[in-house]
Each structure stands twice: as C-alpha cells, then as structure tokens.
Amino acid sequence: MAILKLKVKKVSQVNPTTKAKGFVARVVTNGTSDFDDVVASAGRNTTMHKAELRMAFELCLDSVTEMLKQGYIVDLGPLGKIYPSCSSGWYEKEEDMRLAGVKPSLYFRPAADVEAAVKGAQLVWAKASDQAIEEADDPTAPTGGSDDNDGPSDEGL
C-alpha cells in the first residue's frame, strides 16, 4: 500500500493562553467524497446495481444512527468505533462536580490500520515555496533528481 501524503498549510492563530499571534499547521484535504462517491466506489467490481448498494448502505447507516441514539457503542469494523462520550472540567472534590458542567458528545476511535495510515502519513507543505524554504534550511534534504511526489499536484492552492 502506498504511503499517504498529506498536504499541510500554515494558518494564523492566536494562542488562547498568551494571546500572542502565531501559526499552526492545518491539513489541506483532497476534497470531500459524498455518499454517491462512496456508493460508486464500493460497487466497483461487483454485480450489485448502485441503487441496491445505496439502499443496503442507507439501511446500515439508519441502524448505526438508531444504535447511537440508544447509547450503544457502534463498531464499524475496518473503519473504527463511534461511541457516546462526555467531557467535564477537573474538580478536586467529587461534590463540586455538577451535571451542568458535563457536556455530552460523540467520539470516534479509528481502527488500527486507519489510524496507522494517517499517523504514518508523509507531510508535505501545500505551497512549493514553503517546501523550498524548509529544504534550504535542511542540509540533509535531497537536491536535484526526479520528483517522487506521486500525490495530487499543488496547483490551484
């Protein structure tokens, strides 16, 4: 399997603690795959019509939705798990904690191979100029030769 390449850009952000202006990195995605794209991809090399696959997938998603609404952890197999969660502040004394300070949410825990693919991704700057600056500062960076970037182009960013 090919190594995932993720483009990263520099984004201005204020530090919430010090209020100093600075920068953080954000991933530049390759776009969004909508439900039709997923159905078309899943149906490739099968004898199922896209309408049959779409209906089966929608029935599964309806079931997942209902199970989450009932408070179940839902194991989505090779994708990972979705489950109810909550967050609260830290309190030294148990009696100081109030339900008003607890916020319910959903949490996604990716499957091991999905998480490994993302965490093992090769990061590249979204702008070629940022990459050139970093390579100029790095004496170990390769120079010349062929471009081994087989990912999407940086054009239009």
**Every domain of the chain and the residues it spans:** 32-72
Looking at residue 135, what is its pLDDT?
66
Per-residue pLDDT of 5-41, as tens digits, reads: 999 999 999 998 899 999 999 999 989 999 999 999 9
For residue 125, the tally of other CB atoms under 10 A from its CB is 20
Contacts 24+ apart (CB under 8 A), 150-157: 150/2, 151/5, 151/7, 151/124, 152/7, 152/30, 154/7, 154/126, 154/127, 154/128, 157/7, 157/9, 157/28, 157/126, 157/127
Residue 144, pLDDT > 90, answer no
Looking at residue 157, what is its pLDDT?
37
For residue 136, the tally of other CB atoms under 10 A from its CB is 10
Per-residue pLDDT of 95-141, as tens digits, reads: 999 999 999 999 999 999 999 999 999 999 998 776 666 666 665 55
Looking at residue 152, what is its pLDDT?
39
CA nearest to 114, candidates 34, 4, 28: 4
Which amino acid does the sequence have at 109? R
Classify each residue of 78-93 as buried b or exposed e, where b means 16 or more C-beta atoms within 10 Å of its C-beta: eebebeeeeeeeeeee
**112 backbone dihedrals φ, ψ, rounded to 5°:** -55, -45
